Chain A
Amino acid sequence: EAGVVQSPRYKIIEKKQPVAFWCNPISGHNTLYWYRQNLGQGPELLIRYENEEAVDDSQLPKDRFSAERLKGVDSTLKIQPAELGDSAVYLCASSYPGFGEQYFGPGTRLTVT
């Protein structure tokens, strides 16, 4: 069974440019999470989806970050415009509904110069 797929794996952009990350969760997993992991830190939740609905986006910086999960499967996280402080690894995870185990993708390492 395929795991959580993320692309791209690496992205280098200049500040003020837009960037988007894509995630394909494990088949059958209705819950999808986006995390940000700064260097030397643990992952921090940005947003959680149950199917198409964002049920927890309290930690998402909404002035520059947006996310969508059309049709309740794939998801895209966007940053516009990017700032130097956005450099981090962006992780996607998925799980069955409720308190299911979360499976993480390999992440996208973003460098903003």
Chain B
Amino acid sequence: TQLLEQSPQFLSIQEGENLTVYCNSSSVFSSLQWYRQEPGEGPVLLVTVVTGGEVKKLKRLTFQFGDARKDSSLHITAAQPGDTGLYLCAGVNYGGSQGNLIFGKGTKLSVKP
């Protein structure tokens, strides 16, 4: 069974601080996705990383896929209250269960003004 471990589980910071959340697995994934979920809503895709070592930037968010495609990180620079939410990583394997996502438990981020 493939599992994704996310850390930390909870994170409460002040506006303007930087933060990094981690997503780790003992399994290799074809690609990895990061989602943000706000209360009462479904997850919304932020980014997909495919190549080992890949780095993608989305404004103040930087995503990295590990060289071995087993882990990923999300770094937020100068966090804002609007960044508050549940950040989920999800691994994808292209094979028998084409496109099925395996989600981690998420990191609940709270950014205080």
Residues of A within 8 A of B (CB): 4, 9, 31, 40-45, 48, 56, 91, 93, 95, 98-107, 109
A99 touches B92 (CB 8 A): yes
Extra inter-chain contacts (6) besides given A43-B101, A103-B45, CB under 8 Å: A42-B103, A42-B104, A100-B99, A104-B44, A107-B41, A109-B40
A40 touches B42 (CB 8 A): no
Chain B residue numbers with a CB within 8 Å of A98 are 98-99
B105 touches A41 (CB 8 A): yes
Give the contacting residue for B103; candidates A9, A43, A48, A106; CB below 8 A.
A43
A99 touches B98 (CB 8 A): yes
Which residues in window 83-99 of B have CB below 8 A to A?
Answer: 88, 90, 92, 94, 97-99
A4 touches B92 (CB 8 A): no
Is residue B43 within 8 Å, beta carbon to beta carbon, of the partner chain? yes
B106 touches A102 (CB 8 A): no
B42 touches A105 (CB 8 A): yes
Chain B residue numbers with a CB within 8 Å of A109 are 40
A48 touches B100 (CB 8 A): yes
Known A-B contacts A99-B92, A104-B42, A105-B42; the reply to A40 vs B105 at CB < 8 A is yes
* Contact mask for chain B residues 32-43; partner A; CB cutoff 8 A; 1 contact, 0 none: 000000001111
**Sample of 23 A–B contacts (CB below 8 Å):** A4-B42, A31-B99, A40-B105, A42-B105, A43-B43, A43-B101, A43-B103, A45-B101, A56-B100, A91-B42, A91-B43, A95-B99, A98-B98, A99-B94, A99-B99, A101-B45, A102-B45, A104-B43, A104-B44, A105-B42, A106-B41, A106-B42, A109-B40
**Cα distance A98–B31 when bound, in Å?**
14
Most chain A CB neighbours (cut-off 10 Å) among B40, B42, B94, B97: B42
